[in-house]
Structure 1
Amino acid sequence: MNEPQDGIACSACWDDALLAAALFAVDPAGAAGIVLRCRAGPARDLWLQALRGLLPDPTPLRRIPINIADSRLLGGLDLTASLRAGKPVADRGVLVESNGGVVYLSMTERMSAAVAGRIANVLDTGIVAMERDGLTLRSDVRLGIVALDEGIEENERCPDALSDRLAFLVDLSGDLTVASGPPAYDACAVAAARRLLPKVALGDEALHALCVGASALGVASLRAPLLAVRAARASAALRGRNEVVEEDVVVAARLVLAPRAMALPSSEREAPDASPPEAPQAEESEGAKQESFQDDDREIHADASLDEIVLEAAAAAIPAGLLTQLQLAGEAAIRTKATGKSGALKGSGLRGRPAGARCGKPGGAVRLNLVETLRAAAPWQKMRRMDGGREIETTTARRIIIRPEDFRVTRYKQRTETLTIFAVDASGSSALNRLAEAKGAVELLLADCYVRRDQVAVLAFRGAGPTLLLAPTRSLARAKRSLAGLPGGGGTPLAGGIDAALKLAEDARRKGQTPIIVLLTDGAANIARDGRPGRAKAQDDALGSARFARSRGFTMLLVDTAPRPQPFAQRLAADMKARYLALPSADPVVLSGAVRSAAAR
């Protein structure tokens, strides 16, 4: 087996990638699918070719683009056939046509949440249900998905709603050696495994080991152990066994659980001949733990339980440094697709991206959608040509009869400009903690906003109240000058700072912008809204402002700049319904990523 390379998921080595393809070919509907992260190139072509060679000849193979319409994906009215027949004729849709086969989803890193959600619902229920255009269709569907992910950046990923339901996560995006020679399995072996699969049994010990492994690896989804069970049964059938054994459980843990790991399991078992330590040892770093887990040549002791063996196999498959990168992101499980975009979507009459159609009269600020208008009129043509129970014998019978209620106009959505409002606590307590580092982090965020042509604003609050240092602007130079002169010292009028940020956000919303509030504070409020000192009153006012901010529905991020996370700052973030980020060192990269992630919500 090839050694895994740095930065490559555990399924990325070629042998494991081919094994995942074979297990998927044995049970496409049970495994639900594979996420293949790899740019177009020889490695992906060879893997797809290998998969096609493992599937039986009559297996339907369809490729679905990311911009497919709902009527083609789930089925709907066949407009051409309906106009020809004078009555509604249904189009079954791609998913129904692919029943019993495999579907390729292209460029899933750009797939919309709506399309991913519809496909995920079909995977969950096994049913394609469609009710539109006067038609009701309900079809049973069992298929497998190959989600092609061509993302480059970490936040360019297949939607979680889809990848969470697919058993195997294969990453071929790094440097790897493609093994030559005949494959370990062929179509004949897969066909035999399919016949044996219904007879394969899985014992309670194996099920318990997979569940314990998922929990120890920090896998939150309940689907993961269920998918691992299906992978273990497919592994047993592929090897000609009617019962799952230790080898099959280890394969399932390595291919299904390890790529989803969010934590490293702790190794509590010692070798029987290990002598007790002479002195307490410092806690091992993650890198040391991973190095010990990745020693594939270590002896598996006879007294090791199946739970421990599964954990060792899964931990050994986790790439070095992967979990460190996830932890640095704060909330690394949240992956966003908003890089390079700005603002929220708003309705538009004539500009932007088409977003369906609605009833309406064309003209002025709206455009006629001819196809949807014909689609609405098609089911009624035969009825409209009847006069007193008999069909009209005129030339008008050959024409399409359209009535005012059939008119459909196109809806458009376009992105608005984002205004990122930085409300910086410049009081004495915050200045003593991390104010200087916060300035550097804010400058990096300002540069990022400038690249995306968004606007930024900076206000500071200290002493008697807030001060607007930088009105909304795109000028990076002006922003840096305002931060350079950011003073520090005095009390913390936290309520006043929140109120000022809300007023600025309300003004931006009225202008059609999408405001994002980033509050940097240590939460040590001691100046009330009326300007009087007093910690209790100041905290009550701050919580009141936070609850009001929550009611306004703004996207907000609270960055706790204290040396240690402060309980009041956490409570304040909860009352604001803001994302909380404890950042004692004000790391610019982490803070910038957190703001982008908050903007994607």
Structure 2
Amino acid sequence: MAEAWDNALLALRLLAIDPALGGIRIRARSGPVRDALPLPDALRLHPAMGDDALHGGLDLTATLATGTLVQRGGVLDRSGPLQLAMAERCPVDLAARLCLHLDLTPRVLIALDEGTEDEAPPAALTERLAFHADLTEVAVTDAVTAAIKNVKPYPVTVDADRIAQIAHLCAACGIDSARAAGFALRAARAHAVLKGHAEVTEEDLAVACALTLSHRATRMPEASSEDSAADPPPERESAEAEPDSDDTTLQIPEEMLLDAVRALIPDDLLARLAAQKARAGRGDGTGAQRKGMSRGRPLPSRPGRLQGGGRIDVVATLRAAAPWQKIRRDETGRDGLHIRASDIHIRCFAERSERLLIFAVDASGSAALARLAEAKGAIELLLAQAYARRDHVALIAFRGTGADVLLPPTRSLVQTKRRLAALPGGGGTPLAAGLDAALLLAGQAARRGMTPTVCLLTDGRANMARDGTADRQRAGADAKTAARLIRAAGHAALVIDTGNRPSEALRHLATTLAAPYYAMPRADAARLSATVGAALAD
């Protein structure tokens, strides 16, 4: 993986030449490899940084000491590169402020990404960074430190055909961002400066496209030479061939660009794109965010009243009252500190609730053992990630005339394997009973502060009504009623059809639940776990 290290060093050299490239996302855990990078001296940022630290504001200590308003600047008011630690934990509000700042002020942002496979910085922030360096597989022996020399930039010309090549390559890689093409052009000019070229060459363009476009590609680019070999163009007259001769001369560097980008595109591109799409949905896969006044991650204080167990933020209250002290002294004719009810600020906190995955599994019929085995494997795979994602798992099996909670909410892999060792199967399909049991368990979990999600695995052939009688029509109506109750309670859900053919009735039930529907006949545990994980992160 020495190539990844060399590319990271080259990206840092290009950033030193042109700060308008935005910055670089460095994916690596804290350690000797990342420490060996010659990062520039930068202003440190962290995910919990508030507006006062970023943009500055009233200097409360100096204001109270002097009796006059004293303003102080924030971190973003200082010049120089920025370095964001633990970028994978950057909240969306901080990312929005940084994006606005980078759009208005060209400067370098170094985002240190220490996340796992399912963690990443906000996409809007990484979109404004030209480079991405993944150093997770780089060995310490390959991390050879090299100094970043100061190279004075100078004007570099670029041919219009080179710009057209960048646009064609972005289209070939499925990149729809205009920033990507702009970053590629800037990187090509910076590389030309680094090499002492007066004009952007094929080498400059190939290196720039590889560094700025490979991590943004959404599909593998195909070589146009193969297409031309398969379908040779008809011969034309010599007079008509002159305009095409220029295109032919550009074919070689265009192939060079394709090869350069392909070389840096990861082999698991499709898997990474699926994970990114999952993260780009409704959340990051964790439980719901709850705001309160007692515990959690601190949020900016808000004006309020001392009621309901709220705690006053003394500093924020004094900061709100400080600008009005002279006016209030003149009004009252009294010295001292004047605090009014409108100045009171209350501390606010936000915390992520723990998530509960409730598997409601159809254990009826001849295929019950296969479905339960799939659910068992999926639960064990998801439990392996439970500690990182703070997930709990529960299992409900419905068959015959009712439903049983085989596994109450747990994170224990040992307990899960013990409970799943012998699962019952056979009998009718009381779908409504399974949904009722899931609703009851989800309600209990919600009252304990958890975020429940119901995952229904069935072939949709409900034939047992709520009262235990065999009636397909009533069983379908009871199942829809139970689904409406789950939706009314606000619980998230997803439906996985395990039948041999997709069931239209089960698709309608998913619509009633406001849940995504997946038809997965013969699904193995790995596919089931991947589908559940991606759907829950949406």
SS of alignment partner, residue 385 of structure 1: helix
Q: Which residue of 2 aligns with 1:91?
A: 72
TM-aligned CA deviation for residue 241 of structure 1: 4.9
Kept in 1, the 8 Å contact 2:278–2:535? The answer is: no
How far apart, in 2, do the equivalents of 1:475 and 1:16 lie? 43
1:150 aligns with 2:114: yes
1:314 aligns with 2:261: yes
1:273 to 1:164, Cα distance in 2 relative to 1, 3 A: closer
1:338 to 1:273, Cα distance in 2 relative to 1, 3 A: closer
1:378-403 CA distance string (max 9 Å, x none): 11111111148xxx4xxx53x32212
TM-aligned CA deviation for residue 149 of structure 1: 2.0
Task: Judge which range, 162-171 or 537-546, deviates more.
Answer: 537-546
How far apart, in 2, do the equivalents of 1:208 and 1:437 lie? 51
TM-aligned CA deviation for residue 370 of structure 1: 0.9
- AA aligned opposite 1:314: V
- AA aligned opposite 1:352: G
Q: Which residue of 2 aligns with 1:22?
A: 13
1:506 aligns with 2:443: yes
Superposed, 1:78-117 pairs within 5 Å as 78-84=59-65, 86=67, 88-98=69-79, 101-117=80-96
- AA aligned opposite 1:113: V
TM-aligned CA deviation for residue 68 of structure 1: 1.6
1:337 to 1:69, Cα distance in 2 relative to 1, 3 A: farther
Q: Which residue of 2 aligns with 1:445?
A: 382
1:493 to 1:231, Cα distance in 2 relative to 1, 3 A: farther
Kept in 1, the 8 Å contact 2:36–2:143? The answer is: no
TM-aligned CA deviation for residue 261 of structure 1: 3.1
How far apart, in 2, do the equivalents of 1:337 and 1:150 lie? 21
TM-score (normalised: structure 1): 0.72
1:522 to 1:68, Cα distance in 2 relative to 1, 3 A: same
1:80 to 1:202, Cα distance in 2 relative to 1, 3 A: farther
Q: Which residue of 2 aligns with 1:254?
A: 210
Kept in 2, the 8 Å contact 1:430–1:522? The answer is: no
1:108-166 CA distance string (max 9 Å, x none): 12323332232123234x1xxxxxxxxxxxxxx33221112233x21243332321221
Kept in 2, the 8 Å contact 1:87–1:381? The answer is: no
TM-aligned CA deviation for residue 371 of structure 1: 0.6
Q: Which residue of 1 aligns with 2:243?
A: none
| From 123, 139, 142, the counterpart of 1:160 | 123
Structure holding more helix per residue? 2
Kept in 2, the 8 Å contact 1:339–1:596? The answer is: no
1:373 aligns with 2:317: yes
Kept in 2, the 8 Å contact 1:546–1:576? The answer is: yes
Q: Which residue of 2 aligns with 1:196?
A: 155
**RMSD between aligned residues:** 4.3
Kept in 2, the 8 Å contact 1:523–1:568? The answer is: yes
Kept in 2, the 8 Å contact 1:208–1:307? The answer is: no
Q: Report percent identity of matched pairs.
A: 45
- AA aligned opposite 1:117: A
How far apart, in 2, do the equivalents of 1:112 and 1:187 lie? 34
TM-aligned CA deviation for residue 169 of structure 1: 0.1
SS of alignment partner, residue 155 of structure 1: coil
TM-aligned CA deviation for residue 325 of structure 1: 4.8
Kept in 1, the 8 Å contact 2:33–2:143? The answer is: no
TM-aligned CA deviation for residue 207 of structure 1: 3.9
Q: Which residue of 2 aligns with 1:69?
A: 50
SS of alignment partner, residue 346 of structure 1: strand
Kept in 1, the 8 Å contact 2:356–2:393? The answer is: yes
Q: Which residue of 2 aligns with 1:35?
A: 25
Kept in 2, the 8 Å contact 1:108–1:149? The answer is: yes
How far apart, in 1, do the equivalents of 2:507 and 2:398 lie? 19
1:431 aligns with 2:368: yes
Kept in 1, the 8 Å contact 2:284–2:537? The answer is: no
| From 211, 214, 217, the counterpart of 2:170 | 214
TM-aligned CA deviation for residue 232 of structure 1: 2.8
SS of alignment partner, residue 187 of structure 1: coil
Return 5+ residue gaps in structure 1 as ranges. Answer: 6-11, 53-60, 127-140, 277-300
1:237-288 CA distance string (max 9 Å, x none): 44455654433332222101112334323446349999x9xxxxxxxxxxxx
How far apart, in 2, do the equivalents of 1:499 and 1:588 lie? 25
| From 155, 180, 184, the counterpart of 1:224 | 180
1:352 aligns with 2:311: no
TM-aligned CA deviation for residue 439 of structure 1: 2.4
- AA aligned opposite 1:380: W
How far apart, in 2, do the equivalents of 1:271 and 1:47 lie? 42
1:364 to 1:538, Cα distance in 2 relative to 1, 3 A: closer
1:156-192 CA distance string (max 9 Å, x none): 4333232122110012232356486976x7313xx2x
1:233 to 1:404, Cα distance in 2 relative to 1, 3 A: same
How far apart, in 2, do the equivalents of 1:306 and 1:562 lie? 52
Superposed, 1:168-187 pairs within 5 Å as 168-176=131-139, 178=142, 186-187=149-150
Q: Which residue of 2 aligns with 1:294?
A: none
- AA aligned opposite 1:186: K
1:42 to 1:18, Cα distance in 2 relative to 1, 3 A: same
TM-score (normalised: structure 2): 0.80
1:417-440 CA distance string (max 9 Å, x none): 433211112233753764422222
SS of alignment partner, residue 424 of structure 1: strand
